[in-house]
């Protein structure tokens, strides 16, 4: 029978999958890093010509040279235009690679056919930045191809194609597409939250979920690791290649949803709702044995808590601290927490060390948060938000990692969390707080840990 953690994970994943469209829309509004070089432009052009070749004409070496002349000409023109857009800054680095970040401050020319007022996503800005130049390149390419055995590139109705629409797409970095990124962020977040709440190992839980949702000889549930979830990389890409990957992601998403439905439709899942954690079950079994021993003694009356084992999870007791307490004025202060267990990774910290750690974090948090409050994140105006953030508890996971629980003034700032009225990945207060805590932790050499909004 499946564990309560596994069921909770899959139920949450199903809920998150229903939010994918919103995630994609919000992701397009986050800063986008456009990567370009002339070699890639030539390579993607040749890929598309080979993929959409109705006359089955081979691209000869001579044709490749002539096509390279065209792509280099307009590649240089695009680089000059992008550097001008960036304030005449040199953007090309080693190997001819250009990188440019498009964010809320990036201004691009908006075509008349866009209705105004119109909030342009950063993803759309990237497309508009290269569209006109590559359309000009495409026209010259068509003129050249018309003089070869290849012939002009045509639309589905046989007419001559006039633009790069359907020839080039704005593609994401390989294995870091929108759905792959969404799935990695969702599963990682769910696993970490459940590992804190149910004392399960996040990595083991992920493996159990992948194994459960995979079927032999057919669907395999795999999660592509995204090394940098903060950077969205875009590039000009062959439309055939981009759409082929998109179709595979769509097929994967459909099969994943079907597997989740099959799992959640199982009849035995009802037995898992509200069950006790393994730790609680073990304690109740010991109490039950002790109770039975005393009940066999004549004249002895016993009083025990309910020892009937339920199949539920129990959140580990956290070390609660008051972030405003001054230890010097309260020398007898004692922090209470659950008794730490021995683990293979690290010895549990004492309650006093934990309390000191929290106080050190809180001492530096306001200033660090203010320093990080730059566009596109929340921006500092009064200091009220930064001063409201407090780390208020810390516990240790089963594997020995610290988990910091924090609070902030939810009114009015919670509205910027995804799922609320003004939800935004960029302005999510939790990301800002997590980033700031990690900066401080790096200075203190804390090591791996988790953060939680309480």
The neighbour count for residue 3, using CB atoms within 10 Å, is 19
Rounded to a whole number of angstroms, the CA Rg of the chain reads 29
Residue found under tokens 């549930």: 221
Q: pLDDT at position 216, please?
A: 56
Q: Are 143 and 48 in contact (CB under 8 A)?
A: no
Q: pLDDT at position 277, please?
A: 43
Q: Are 402 and 355 in contact (CB under 8 A)?
A: no
Q: pLDDT at position 327, please?
A: 41
CA distance to 7, 242, 253, per residue, from 219 (Å): 19, 22, 11
User: By C-alpha distance, which of 38, 110, 122 is closest to 80?
Assistant: 38
Q: Are 373 and 379 in contact (CB under 8 A)?
A: yes
Cis peptide before 376 (omega within 30 of 0): yes
User: Which pLDDT tens digits describe the chain residue by residue (454 residues)?
Assistant: 356 677 788 888 888 888 888 888 878 878 888 999 999 999 999 999 998 887 788 899 999 999 999 999 999 999 999 999 988 888 888 889 898 988 878 888 887 766 655 678 888 899 999 999 999 999 999 999 999 999 999 998 889 999 999 999 888 876 667 888 888 888 888 877 776 655 556 777 778 888 888 865 567 777 777 665 656 778 888 888 888 878 888 888 888 888 888 777 764 555 444 444 444 555 566 666 666 665 666 655 656 556 565 544 434 334 444 444 444 444 443 444 444 444 444 444 466 778 888 888 999 999 999 999 988 888 888 888 999 999 998 887 777 788 889 999 988 888 888 777 777 788 889 989 998 998 898 888 787 888 888 8
Q: pLDDT at position 325, please?
A: 43
User: Beta partners for 259?
Assistant: none
Rounded CA gap, 108 and 314, in Å?
53
Q: pLDDT at position 126, please?
A: 92
Rounded CA gap, 140 and 155, in Å?
17
* Surface-to-core class of residue 105, CB atoms within 10 Å of its CB (0-12 exposed, 13-18 middle, 19+ buried): exposed
Rounded CA gap, 259 and 242, in Å?
26
Q: Are 177 and 246 in contact (CB under 8 A)?
A: yes
Q: pLDDT at position 432, please?
A: 92
Q: pLDDT at position 209, please?
A: 83
Q: pLDDT at position 63, please?
A: 95
E strand map for 239-353: 319-320
Residue 313 contacts by C-beta under 8 Å, 6 or more apart in sequence? Answer: 4, 5, 8, 197, 198, 275, 276, 277
Strands 32-36 and 232-238: parallel
Domains of the chain (ranges plus CATH)? 1-274 (no CATH), 276-310 (no CATH), 319-453 (3.30.300)
């Amino acid at each position: 029978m499946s564990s309560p953690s596994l069921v909770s994970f899959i139920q949450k994943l199903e809920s998150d999958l229903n939010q994918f469209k919103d995630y994609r829309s919000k992701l397009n509004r986050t800063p986008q890093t456009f990567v370009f070089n002339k070699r890639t432009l030539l390579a993607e052009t040749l890929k598309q010509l080979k993929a959409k070749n109705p006359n089955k004409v081979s691209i000869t070496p001579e044709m490749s040279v002539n096509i390279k002349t065209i792509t280099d000409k307009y590649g240089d023109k695009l680089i000059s235009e992008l550097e001008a857009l960036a304030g005449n800054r040199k953007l090309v680095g080693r190997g001819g690679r250009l990188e440019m970040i498009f964010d809320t401050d990036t201004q691009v020319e908006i075509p008349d056919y866009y209705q105004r007022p119109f909030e342009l996503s950063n993803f759309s800005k990237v497309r508009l930045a290269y569209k006109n130049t590559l359309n000009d390149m495409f026209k010259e390419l068509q003129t050249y191809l018309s003089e070869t055995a290849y012939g002009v590139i045509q639309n589905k109705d046989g007419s001559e194609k006039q633009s790069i629409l359907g020839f080039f797409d704005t593609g994401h970095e390989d294995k870091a597409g929108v759905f792959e990124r969404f799935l990695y962020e969702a599963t990682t977040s769910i696993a970490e939250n459940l590992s804190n709440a149910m004392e399960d190992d996040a990595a083991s839980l992920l493996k159990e979920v992948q194994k459960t949702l995979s079927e032999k000889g057919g669907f395999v549930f795999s999660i592509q690791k995204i090394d940098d979830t903060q950077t969205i990389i875009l590039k000009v890409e062959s439309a055939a290649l981009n759409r082929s990957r998109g179709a595979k992601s769509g097929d994967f998403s459909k099969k994943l949803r079907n597997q989740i439905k099959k799992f959640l439709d199982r009849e035995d899942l009802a037995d898992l709702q509200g069950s006790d954690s393994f730790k609680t079950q073990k304690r109740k079994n010991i109490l039950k044995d002790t109770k039975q021993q005393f009940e066999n003694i004549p004249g002895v009356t016993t009083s025990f808590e309910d020892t009937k084992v339920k199949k539920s999870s129990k959140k580990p007791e956290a070390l609660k601290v008051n972030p405003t307490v001054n230890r010097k004025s309260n020398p007898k202060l004692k922090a209470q927490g659950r008794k730490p267990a021995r683990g293979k990774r690290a010895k549990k910290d004492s309650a006093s060390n934990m309390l000191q750690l929290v106080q050190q974090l809180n001492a530096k948090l306001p200033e660090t948060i203010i320093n990080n409050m730059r566009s596109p994140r929340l921006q500092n105006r009064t200091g009220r938000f930064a001063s409201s953030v407090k780390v208020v508890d810390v516990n240790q996971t089963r594997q020995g990692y610290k988990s910091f629980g924090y609070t902030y003034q939810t009114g009015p700032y919670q509205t910027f969390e995804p799922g609320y009225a003004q939800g935004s990945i960029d302005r999510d207060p939790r990301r800002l707080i997590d980033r700031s805590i990690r900066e401080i932790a790096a200075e203190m050499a804390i090591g791996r840990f988790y953060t939680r909004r309480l």
